[in-house]
């Protein structure tokens, strides 16, 4: 009996190995190493190295989350180099849904996902990258102006009436967010991006899910050595479209024709037209192209993102900071000591800390700060300036006279002319779009600060598959705006008496009303505070490897109020209460059924009618998992699903009675009793869809859906 043991002991030797990622440079920390068929194993250290005693006949199983497991025979090797490959199917298998995660192949509702790489592009605005990425998502931009270029998007059209919320509900890490906050988030910080489209997917949001839901989750840390990433991007912007206008000679001739056909006189005489056409002294015979004078051909934008991540078994961290600067297309004047061009800059700082308090208790602390600065002309937006130059007279005066005519003044010598020969009023002048655009600047500062705490408890030691979650956050948003402007000094050229084609001087047209110092005007300030607390229980368990049963029960309370309201109605807090739930059943990954509901209350409605119930049901059949289709090689996925549900919108409008009243039932000026709004708008959605994925580039998806 002693001899075999001695021989076995002699066959055991120490095996040393290193586990790498696909680049064969980065080591994998925390990878599991196990001898096949035994309980003997170890994990890689902070350098990706492991040591293990094994026999030449043993086989090692190497596994790590997000990578394909490998089996490596030891044979006569004592040193091993192992390269793990990412498991793309595993990475795509789980999708984020309403307050949870589900396997993509068993999801009943209509949920679309996007990879962070699909959201990268030349635009610094993430919302503009959504167009064309997801079926049923309609996205468009009404402006390309920095800071005002957020895309408007609808999921399967507008799901409710009213002038309030028409965009989808946006949740970033479970925090209700604005379109601007979504626009500013960096793709490098995103871990998951899901779009919930039908009633089965959104009914847990009840009175807030009528227009769809966008869920974004940000990255967390990992166990391993610290990683530092930095990305810098620069892009060039130009006008997407230009307008074809008549040339200035045609403009004058057409103006004369229009006046003469109505019994008037010629507006422009023959000498004016001919001298302008020949290019004689442009100070006396201007031939302005306002677009060339005021609009740049192109501009440069800059973006930089940095993040640091890592951690150990107890704590993991992900820290990031980003800065972006988008410049506008308006030209400025060297004589002005201020910038009137459009620009938008923003800085975002994010901190995600995950803590393993015990083997079954995990906590997360997330802090996010966003600072957004919008700069532009004092007369309005860049779009307003562009529209004004299209309507300005291009031949009455030059945009600006040479400074040499008044070398002792510091302000630009903007051109202008009286609207009539006998006019004596300083206000009776033409409109100079160049002077208007350069007459001042405006500033809009916005800051958002969010602190979030999340606690997850695994109760599997009581009931297998049972988990609990608590989450709370507080959010503070502040906005302030101001403008500073001058009153431009306008000048008119004076012809030389001896040579009518020469200009001898300029005269000031608005000596008393002109002002070359900047005034100051506040546009208002707002400070919003929002608090949210929620608790949930989740259950997910598979019986006999065939029957999967899941459920979620969630309750949350939300309060949002304006700190500097100014009147009673605006000072009252906005409150929401919700009880939501989900029950799921799946058999053998082939047949799935799901019931969801949201039972919500909103203070926007009358006290007797504040609660609404929003249920949905759905069923799906994974036909590809049937035995008669498993060996069909050209068919990758085939699922048929049906859903029926009711969802609502509690933000039909924000204000009533010309912006004076917020509540429909709290009017002071009604002359007769007002019918109280008693119900949420509740679109009824019926959907039948079959998702057909063929291994062929021409037939990726077929997904029709009728809506009632």
Query: Residue 429 has what pLDDT?
Result: 92
Highest mean pLDDT among 153-162, 257-266, 565-574, 622-631: 257-266
Vertex 277 angle, CA 275 and 282, to 5°:
60
Q: What is the mean pLDDT of the chain?
A: 85
Judge if 11 and 104 occupy the same domain: no
Residue 242 belongs to some domain of the structure: no
Judge if 433 and 323 occupy the same domain: yes
DSSP letter at 28 equals P
Residue 418 belongs to some domain of the structure: yes
Closest CA to 317 of 220, 395, 234: 220
Residue 552 belongs to some domain of the structure: yes
Judge if 158 and 306 occupy the same domain: no
Query: Residue 48 has what pLDDT?
Result: 86
Tell me which of 486, 505, 523 is where a domain ends: 523
Judge if 578 and 465 occupy the same domain: no
Q: How confident is the model at residue 8 (pLDDT cuts 50, 70, 90)?
A: very low
Query: Residue 365 has what pLDDT?
Result: 98
Question: Which has more confidence, 3 or 276?
Answer: 276
% helix, strand, coil for the chain, step of 5: 15, 45, 40
Residue 236 belongs to some domain of the structure: no
Rounded CA gap, 258 and 267, in Å?
A: 10
Parent domain of 64: 2-86
Residue 703 belongs to some domain of the structure: no
Rounded CA gap, 610 and 612, in Å?
A: 7
Judge if 327 and 399 occupy the same domain: yes
**Joined tokens for residue 8:** 């076995």
The whole-number average pLDDT for the span 523-530 is 91
Rounded CA gap, 468 and 547, in Å?
A: 22
Residue 50 belongs to some domain of the structure: yes
Tell me which of 479, 501, 523 is where a domain ends: 523
Rounded CA gap, 139 and 142, in Å?
A: 10
Instruction: Give residue-wise pLDDT tens across range 459-493.
Output: 988 998 999 999 999 999 999 999 999 999 999 99
654 pLDDT more than 60: no
Query: Residue 64 has what pLDDT?
Result: 81
| Residue 575, strand partner residues | 559
Residue 167 belongs to some domain of the structure: yes
Tell me which of 61, 86, 111 is where a domain ends: 86
Judge if 537 and 505 occupy the same domain: no
Query: Residue 166 has what pLDDT?
Result: 76
- Distances from the Cα of 115 to the Cαs of 188, 194, 699, in angstroms? 11, 9, 21
The CATH number that applies at residue 154 is 2.170.130.10
Rounded CA gap, 438 and 432, in Å?
A: 10
The whole-number average pLDDT for the span 62-83 is 87
Judge if 118 and 56 occupy the same domain: no
685 pLDDT more than 80: no
Query: Residue 521 has what pLDDT?
Result: 92
Query: Residue 370 has what pLDDT?
Result: 97
Rounded CA gap, 604 and 653, in Å?
A: 10
Buried b (16+ CB within 10 A) or exposed e, 524-554: eebebebebebebbbbbeeeeeeebebbbeb
Judge if 514 and 632 occupy the same domain: no
Q: Give the chain's end-to-end CA distance (angstroms, integer).
A: 80
The CATH number that applies at residue 66 is 2.60.40.1120
Rounded CA gap, 617 and 607, in Å?
A: 29
Q: How confident is the model at residue 3 (pLDDT cuts 50, 70, 90)?
A: very low
Judge if 587 and 616 occupy the same domain: yes
Judge if 369 and 468 occupy the same domain: yes
Q: What percent of the chain clears pLDDT 70, i.e. is strictly above it? A: 88
Residue 233 belongs to some domain of the structure: no
Domains of the chain: total? 4
Judge if 351 and 457 occupy the same domain: yes
- Distances from the Cα of 29 to the Cαs of 59, 292, 449, 553, in angstroms? 21, 59, 34, 36
The strand order across the sheet containing 49-54 reads: 49-54, 13-20, 79-83
- Whole-prediction pTM value? 0.79
Judge if 562 and 436 occupy the same domain: no
């Amino acid at each position: 009996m002693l001899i075999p043991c001695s021989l076995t002991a002699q066959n055991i030797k120490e095996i040393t190995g290193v586990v790498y990622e696909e680049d064969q440079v980065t080591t994998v920390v925390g990878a599991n190493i196990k001898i096949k068929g035994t309980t003997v194993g170890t994990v890689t250290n902070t350098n990706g190295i492991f040591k293990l005693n094994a026999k030449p006949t043993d086989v090692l199983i190497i596994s790590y989350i997000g990578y394909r497991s490998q089996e490596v025979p030891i044979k006569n090797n004592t040193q091993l180099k192992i390269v793990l490959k990412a498991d793309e199917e595993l990475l795509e298998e789980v999708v984020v849904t309403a307050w949870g995660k589900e396997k993509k192949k068993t999801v009943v509702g209509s949920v679309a996902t996007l990879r962070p790489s699909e959201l990268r592009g030349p635009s610094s605005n993430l919302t503009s990258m959504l167009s064309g990425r997801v079926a049923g998502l309609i996205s468009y931009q009404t402006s390309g102006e920095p800071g005002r270029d957020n895309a408007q998007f609808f999921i399967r059209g507008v799901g409710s009436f009213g002038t309030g919320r028409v965009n989808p509900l946006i949740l970033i890490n479970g925090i209700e967010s604005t379109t601007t906050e979504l626009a500013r988030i960096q793709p490098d910080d995103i871990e998951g991006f899901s779009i919930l489209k039908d009633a089965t997917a959104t009914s847990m949001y009840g009175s807030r899910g009528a227009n769809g839901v966008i869920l974004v989750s940000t990255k967390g840390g990992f166990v391993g050595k610290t990683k530092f990433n930095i990305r810098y991007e620069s892009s060039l912007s130009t006008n997407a479209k230009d307008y074809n206008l008549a040339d200035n000679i045609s403009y004058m001739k057409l103006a004369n024709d229009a006046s003469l056909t109505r019994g008037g006189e010629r507006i422009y005489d023959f000498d004016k037209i001919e001298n302008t056409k020949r290019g004689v002294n442009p100070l006396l015979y201007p031939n302005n192209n306002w677009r060339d004078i005021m609009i740049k051909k192109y501009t440069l934008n800059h973006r930089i993102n940095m993040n640091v991540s890592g951690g150990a078994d107890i704590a993991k961290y992900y820290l990031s900071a980003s800065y972006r600067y988008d410049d506008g297309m308006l030209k400025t004047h060297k004589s002005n000591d201020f910038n009137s061009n459009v620009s938008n800059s923003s800085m975002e700082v994010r901190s995600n800390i995950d803590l393993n308090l015990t083997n079954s208790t995990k906590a997360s602390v997330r802090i996010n700060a966003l600072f957004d600065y919008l700069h532009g002309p004092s007369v309005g937006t860049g779009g307003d300036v562009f529209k004004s130059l299209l309507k300005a007279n291009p031949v009455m005066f030059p945009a600006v006279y040479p400074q040499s005519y008044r070398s002792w003044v510091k302000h630009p010598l903007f051109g202008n002319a009286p609207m009539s020969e006998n006019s004596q009023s300083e206000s009776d002048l033409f409109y100079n779009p160049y002077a208007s655009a350069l007459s001042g600047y405006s500033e809009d500062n916005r800051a958002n600060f969010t602190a979030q705490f999340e606690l997850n408890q695994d109760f599997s030691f009581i009931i297998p598959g049972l988990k609990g979650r608590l989450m709370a956050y507080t959010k503070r948003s502040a906005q302030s705006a101001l403008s500073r402007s001058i009153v431009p000094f306008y000048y008119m050229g004076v012809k030389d008496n001896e040579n009518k084609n020469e200009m001898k001087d300029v005269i000031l047209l608005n000596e008393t009303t002109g002002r070359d110092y900047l005034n100051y005007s506040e546009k208002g300030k707002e400070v919003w505070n929002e608090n949210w607390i929620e608790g949930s229980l989740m259950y997910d368990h598979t019986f006999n490897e065939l029957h999967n049963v899941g459920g979620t029960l969630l309750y949350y309370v939300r309060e949002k109020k304006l700190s500097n309201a100014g009147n009673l109605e605006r000072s009252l807090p906005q409150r929401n209460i919700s009880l939501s739930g989900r029950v799921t059943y799946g058999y053998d990954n082939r047949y799935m059924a799901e019931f969801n509901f949201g039972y919500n209350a909103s203070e926007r409605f009358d006290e007797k009618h504040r609660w609404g119930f929003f249920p949905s049901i759905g069923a799906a059949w994974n036909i590809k998992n049937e035995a008669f289709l498993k060996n069909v090689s050209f068919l990758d996925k085939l699922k048929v699903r049906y859903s029926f549900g009711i969802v609502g919108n509690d933000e039909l409008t924000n204000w009533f009675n010309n912006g004076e009243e917020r509540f429909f039932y709290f009017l002071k000026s009604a002359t007769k009793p007002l019918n109280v709004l008693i119900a949420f708008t509740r679109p009824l959605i019926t959907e039948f869809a079959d998702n057909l994925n063929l291994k062929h580039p021409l037939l990726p998806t077929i997904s029709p859906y009728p809506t009632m």
